[in-house]
Amino acid sequence: MKRLFDITLSLSAIIVLLPVFAVIIIAIRISSKGPAIFKQQRAGKNGTPFTFYKFRTMKIDVDPFGSSPKTGDDPRLTKIGKLLREYSLDELPQLLNVLKGDMSIVGPRPLYVSQMAEWNERQKKRLLVKPGLTGLAQISGRGELTREEKLELDVEYVETASFWTDIKIILATVSQVFRRKSIYEKRYSKTEETRGEAKQQVNNE
């Protein structure tokens, strides 16, 4: 039922949003050099790599594996890229990933393949399901959460997933998009925060 839901919703959305796709592609190409679609390898179900799509929001000469922008004033962002990020429009091409079967509408967000080596056995449970356009972590704080908190919420989703849970997450996501809540990553890792506090304490001593 989940796969049928994914196909129906993604295909319907792609058809309805085709004019929006066209406008965004033209705007990106006019405003900055480079392709309109950004492609990258991400970890899918069971850790299988797949090609992940999104509208390009950064300049073409930046590190594609660099840290996420913390504000809309990040110099790596293009003018149209800032707007796309703030309304989550940059994620729309992932509807194609959903239609292809690489992703689901709801699930843990797809992360870098290299990050799998950093996870413990519990955190790796997030790979038991397809990654999603949105997930429990995205409606529970998004950019205000640390990496560890997001991973724990991903595992919680895997352990408690149901069709009605997916519906609730989709509705909450729509609400957050319109409110542009927690768009930028304010915190990355609790481990790094702890190390930074310890270093600062040493310096003060």
pLDDT in tens, 159-186: 999 999 999 999 999 988 877 766 777 7
Radius of gyration of the chain (CA): 18
Number of independent structural domains in the chain: 1
Is 46 contained in some domain? yes
pLDDT band per the 50, 70, 90 thresholds, residue 200: very low
Q: What mean pLDDT value characterizes the chain?
A: 89
Q: How far apart are CA 64 and CA 48, in angstroms?
A: 20
Q: How far apart are CA 94 and CA 183, in angstroms?
A: 18
State pLDDT tens for residues 22-60.
999 999 999 999 999 999 999 999 999 999 999 999 999
State pLDDT tens for residues 117-148.
999 999 999 999 999 999 999 999 888 899 99
Q: What 3-state DSSP class applies to 37?
A: strand
Is 205 contained in some domain? no
> Alpha carbon of 26 to those of 95, 118, 123, 125: distances in Å?
19, 38, 40, 40
pTM as predicted? 0.87
Provide the residue count of the chain.
205
Is 185 contained in some domain? yes
Domain holding 67, by residue range, is 2-199
Is 204 contained in some domain? no
Instruction: Identify the pLDDT of residue 182.
Output: 66
